[in-house]
């Protein structure tokens, strides 16, 4: 019989923002195992709901769970369910990588960092022994496990290089829609104080232009996609590679068949790079501007970026017809009411009509987490549900890092931004009343998200 692996994406299925896109990370694990053991050797299933029922139907041999910190309570619950059936459990993702100490007794091994090679070693061990022998686990790099109650963390695993060795994710196990996403790199040169992603990947690596274009071709041919988001932390970091991707898209006669979106950083936006994005048919660019206050901006993103960079980037993107999608963070420890209002004025003065505002949240592995821990605001046995950046959903339990403002004061300021978004949506609808009459659902849906404090788009 074929061995069976069930991968669980531990998410909140009630949140559209978490269910809208497929879990490519699990797809990469499945494709890496297929590459090593053959396409048909292992039977896979990827699920995010009805976990116990799916276990009973699929009858897996191994359970693999991935989770971010704010959903870690779900991962703990799913591991407990798996142990009811005496199933071995592997946990991976950004949370366990940052805090191996949170590994529970229901989890046999935690994968720290990049998992494509680690999952192969773990599966080999399971195939050989039929279980995860703890003496043998110690020989596998990049994991944590418990032996006699003591946490063991093995030698750090080197990142996969060249990264092109990693096969494209197994999208046949996922639901792929006309609008989808892909990764063209892992990591980031920068270390924003709140960002867990750059710490997780540790090193910035790029898939080659050939790899990227082949994946785009595959998505068009196999799934007839119309829109692809490059979900890299910083797609434009390597200008030479962007040029190569553009030239290969031209050569393959793909230009115009699909539109793109990507993430940029304001201090790296200039005419040359935006012209390249325009030629690629990039329609929108996400920017984490974070603040309109120079003092707060430096705290969040460092000294290599400033407000002038933000203004120039917005103007340059608009000059070439690329829509800037922006996001901001309020509630930094030393941030005053006036500095938050500087951000609000920045949004209005620069006529930003697509923006999100989040509260500064202490995610494990970041300097913000260390600051919060020093103030006894977080711990390694806390309720992980409260790590929610969407203040409109979580203001009752939200962790407030501000030393100058109360929770109520921050919430009132948050509502100022929310009301501004509502006004913008209404004005946009009134400018195009016929479109509203023809199709009112998008506006009504957006308004409901705004009124509930939910973001219009993902950071």
Which of 25, 26, 59 shows the shortest CA–CA distance to 43? 59
Q: Which two tokens stand for residue 387?
A: 């790590």
- Quick check: is 71 in a domain? yes
96 with 209, same domain: the answer is: no
CA distance 436 to 432: 7
| Closest to 451 in 3D by CA, of 394, 407, 392 | 392
Tell me how far apart the alpha carbons of residues 209 and 241 are, in angstroms, rounded to a whole number.
Answer: 6
Helix segments in 68-171, DSSP class H? 72-84, 94-98, 116-129, 134-137
Q: Is 341 found in the same domain as 447?
A: yes
My answer on whether omega of the bond before 74 falls inside 30° of 0, hence cis, is no
Domain range enclosing 40: 4-153
pLDDT, residue 177, reads 96
Instruction: List the CATH number of the domain containing 48.
Output: 3.40.50.2300
Q: What angle do CA 160, 163, 167 make, to 5 degrees?
A: 100
Reading the chain (459 residues) residue by residue, the pLDDT tens digits are: 899 999 999 999 998 889 999 999 999 999 999 999 999 999 999 999 999 999 999 999 999 999 999 999 999 999 999 999 999 999 999 999 999 999 999 999 999 999 999 999 999 999 999 999 999 999 999 999 999 999 999 999 999 999 999 999 999 999 999 999 999 999 999 999 999 998 999 899 999 999 999 999 999 999 999 999 999 999 999 999 999 999 999 999 999 999 999 999 999 999 999 999 999 999 999 999 999 999 999 999 999 999 999 999 999 999 999 999 999 999 999 999 999 999 999 999 999 999 999 999 999 999 999 999 999 999 999 999 999 888 877 778 899 999 999 999 999 999 999 999 888 877 776 776 665 556 666 556 655 555 555 444 433
Q: Are residues 133 and 249 in the same domain?
A: no
Check the CA dihedral 219-220-224-226 and report its sign. Answer: positive
The total of structural domains in the chain comes to 2
**How far is it, in rounded angstroms, from Cα 352 to Cα 366?**
29
Pairing mode of beta strands 323-330, 205-206? unpaired
- Residue 163, domain member (yes or no): no
Answer whether 337's CB lies under 8 Å from 409's CB.
yes
Helix (H) / strand (E) element for 357: namely strand 355-359
Please give the structure tokens belonging to residue 430: 């009134």
Q: Given 3-state DSSP classes, what are the helix, strand and coil percentages for the chain, each rounded to the nearest 5? A: 45, 15, 40
Residue 149 and residue 180 in one domain: no
- Same domain? For 9 and 103 the reply is yes
User: Is residue 143 located within the same domain as residue 227?
Assistant: no
Q: What is the pTM of this model?
A: 0.93
Same domain, 131 and 199: no
Neighbours of 4 (CB within 10 A): 15
Within a domain: residue 162? no
Do 199 and 103 lie in one domain? The reply is: no
Specify the CATH number for the domain of residue 301: 3.80.30.20
Residue 129 is predicted with a pLDDT of: 93
Separation of first and last alpha carbons in the chain: 43
- H/E run at residue 181: strand 179-182
Residue 212 shares a structural domain with residue 244: yes
């Amino acid at each position: 019989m074929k061995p069976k692996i069930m991968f669980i994406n531990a998410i909140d299925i009630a949140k559209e923002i978490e269910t809208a896109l497929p879990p490519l990370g699990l797809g990469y694990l499945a494709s890496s195992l297929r590459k090593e053991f053959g396409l048909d050797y292992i039977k896979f299933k990827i699920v995010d709901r009805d976990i116990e029922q799916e276990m009973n139907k699929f009858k897996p041999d191994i359970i693999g769970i991935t989770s971010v910190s704010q959903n870690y309570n779900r991962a703990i619950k799913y591991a407990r369910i798996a142990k009811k059936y005496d199933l071995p459990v592997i946990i991976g993702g950004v949370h366990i990588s940052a805090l191996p100490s949170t590994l529970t007794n229901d989890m046999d091994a935690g994968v720290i960092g990049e998992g494509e090679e680690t999952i192969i070693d773990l599966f080999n061990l399971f195939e050989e022994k039929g279980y995860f022998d703890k003496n043998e686990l110690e020989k596998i790099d990049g994991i944590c496990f418990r032996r006699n109650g003591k946490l063991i963390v093995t030698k750090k695993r080197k990142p996969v290089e060249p990264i092109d060795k990693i096969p494209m994710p197994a999208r046949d196990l996922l639901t792929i829609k006309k609008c989808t996403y892909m990764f063209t790199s892992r990591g980031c040169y920068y270390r924003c104080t709140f960002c867990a992603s750059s710490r997780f990947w540790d090193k910035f690596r790029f898939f080659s232009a050939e790899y990227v274009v082949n994946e785009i071709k595959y998505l068009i041919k196999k799934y007839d996609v119309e829109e692809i988001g490059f979900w890299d932390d910083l797609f434009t970091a390597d200008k030479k590679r962007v040029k190569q991707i553009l030239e290969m898209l031209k050569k393959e006669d793909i230009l115009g068949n699909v539109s793109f979106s990507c993430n940029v950083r304001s201090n790296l936006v200039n005419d040359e790079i935006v012209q390249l994005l325009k030629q690629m048919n990039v329609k929108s660019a996400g920017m984490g501007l974070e603040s309109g206050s120079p003092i707060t901006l430096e705290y969040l993103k460092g000294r290599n970026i400033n407000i002038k960079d933000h203004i120039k980037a917005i103007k340059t993107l608009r000059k070439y017809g690329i829509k800037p999608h922006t996001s901001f963070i309020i509630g930094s420890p030393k941030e005053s009411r006036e500095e938050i209002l500087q951000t609000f004025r920045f949004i209005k003065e620069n006529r930003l009509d697509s923006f999100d505002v989040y509260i500064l949240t202490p995610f494990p592995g970041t300097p913000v987490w260390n600051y919060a821990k020093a103030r006894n605001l977080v711990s390694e046995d806390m309720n992980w549900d409260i790590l929610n950046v969407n203040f409109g959903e979580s203001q009752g339990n939200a962790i407030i890092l501000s030393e100058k403002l109360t929770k109520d004061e921050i919430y009132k300021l948050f509502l100022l931004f929310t009301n501004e978004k509502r006004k913008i949506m209404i004005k946009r609808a009134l400018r195009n009343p016929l479109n509203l009459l023809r199709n009112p659902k998008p506006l009504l849906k957006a308004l409901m998200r705004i009124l509930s404090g939910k973001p219009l788009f993902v950071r």
